[in-house]
Amino acid sequence: MGGSPSPCASCKLLRRRCTKDCIFAPYFPSDDPRKFAIVHKVFGASNVSKMLQRIPVHQRADAVRSLVYEASARVRDPVYGCVGAIYYLQNQVSDLEMQLAEAQAEILCIQMQQQPTITNQYHGDVKSSQFSVSNFNSSPQIFNFASSSNVIMQDPLKRESFWT
Amino acid sequence: MNSERCAACKYLRRRCPSDCIFAPYFPSNNPQRFACVHKIYGASNVGKMLQQLPTHKRVQAANSLYYEAQCRIQDPVYGCVGIISLLLQQIHNAENQLAKTQAEIAVLSNSHTQDSQFQQNFLLQQGNVGQSSSPSTQPSSWFK
């Protein structure tokens, strides 16, 4: 008679029999008890089980990874959890958007400076309308990365200078 | 005893005591807020998390729990980790775009400097030779 398989980390922690169709077993192996412990602490085993049951099997591994990530973030930062990271990254995106805008403006300035320099060389036949702003070959790809505002649900929290 | 129960106690169908841990953060006029948080975390876990925090930090904790719960309901697989992932991608794209734009600035600035230098040198030569004829209007002759 073969020995019974080792219970998964969840069933070990919950002190119950680990059945062959245990919903946790594929994602919480017995060699990493900390993973389930942290998820159980934040979400609770029952809630995790319900969440996994509502998700197609091929997506459950990703769901578990994200739950572990969120639970770890919440344990590290009991006040803000993952939202702290979201806030920080949103600020980074805003900063980069500003830097891009400044860089694009600088390109336009340089181009405008260059055009009058060429104009000075010609006397007589050259028409000044040739160098109107609309004829500038502006660089492509201005502001073509998606703003975060249409992706993020809402400002997570109104709070002050968490990252100063 | 509160005359009106908070959203949590209404949801849990229990009496709302005067020191209810949920009452300040889950008012009765927003039942959806507690329902959302309860669905993901469970009342017991939320209560424990709030109790472990100093009182002045509980509002922000309740707000962040609500936000994360909403994300998880909208995206059961990735939750707010999906948003983090998108933001990281946006940052990566923006950094690339910024680097390209800055390289373009460097090229334009360089070529502008070289053109100016060339014109200065040419005008100086014109002055030295003392020719009175007007410069050619043909652009190609300037750059041989």
pLDDT at A142 (0 to 100): 30
What per-residue confidence (pLDDT) applies to A117? 55
Mean pLDDT score of chain A: 78
- B68, B87, B93 member nearest A70 (Cβ): B68
Domain that holds residue A50: 9-76
Query: Is the confidence at residue B48, as pLDDT, over 70?
Result: yes
Which of A101-115, B49-63, B94-108 is predicted with the least confidence, judged by mean pLDDT?
A101-115
- For B87-101, give the DSSP string: HHHHHHHHHHHHHHH
Q: Is the pLDDT of residue B72 over 50?
A: yes
The whole-angstrom distance between A138's CA and the closest CA on chain B is: 11
Helix, strand, coil percentages (3-state) for chain A, rounded to 5, are 55, 0, 45
> Does the residue A149 lie in any domain?
no
Q: Which ranges of chain B would DSSP assign to H, the alpha helix? A: 7-12, 31-41, 43-51, 58-74, 79-129
Q: Is the pLDDT of residue B59 over 50?
A: yes
pLDDT for the residue A155? 53
Number of domains, chain A: 1
d(CA B6, CA B129): 94
Classify residue A99: in a domain, yes or no.
no
pLDDT band at residue B37 under the 50/70/90 scheme: very high
Which pLDDT value is given to residue B116?
75
Mark which residues 78-107 of B lie under 8 Å from A by CB. Answer: 78-84, 86-88, 90-91, 93-95, 97-98, 100-102, 104-105
- Is pLDDT at B115 greater than 70 in this prediction? yes
Nearest to A72 by CA among B80, B75, B3, B16: B80
A15-24 tens-digit pLDDT: 999 999 999 9
Measure in Å the smallest separation between the Cα of A114 and chain B Cα atoms: 6
- Any idea what the Cα angle at residue B40 is, between residues B38 and B42, rounded to 5°? 45
Considering only CB atoms, B101 lies closest to which of A84, A107, A156, namely A107
The answer to whether residue A63 sits within a structural domain is yes
Is this complex's ipTM strictly greater than 0.95? no
- Residues B74/B81, Cβ–Cβ less than 8 Å: no
SS3 category, A120: coil
Over range B79-87, report the average pLDDT: 97
Q: A59 lies in a domain?
A: yes
| Residue A55 located in a structural domain | yes
pLDDT tens-digit profile of A124-135? 444 444 433 333
CB A56 within 8 A of CB A36: no
Query: Which residue type, as a one-letter code, is found at position A82?
Result: C
Q: What pLDDT sits at residue A32?
A: 93
pLDDT at B118: 76
Q: How far is residue B34's CA from residue B7's CA, in Å, rounded to a whole number?
A: 6
pTM of the model: 0.72
Residue A135 identity (one-letter amino acid) = N
Is residue A42, in this structure, part of any structural domain at all?
Answer: yes
Contacts with B97 from chain A: Cβ below 8 Å: 100, 141, 144-145
With b for 16 or more beta-carbon neighbours within 10 A and e for fewer, the B95-126 pattern comes to: eebbeebeebbeebeeeeeeeeeeeeeeeeee
Distance from CA of A133 to the nearest CA of B (A): 17
What mean pLDDT value characterizes chain B? 86
Q: Under a CB-based contact definition with an 8 Å cutoff, are residues B61 and B50 in contact?
A: yes
Which DSSP symbol is given to B38? H
A139 pLDDT band, cuts 50/70/90, is very low
Residue in B70, B76, B87 closest to A148 by CB: B87
**How close A9 comes to chain B (CA, Å)?**
20
- Is the per-residue pLDDT at A153 higher than 50? no
Is A37 among the domain residues? yes
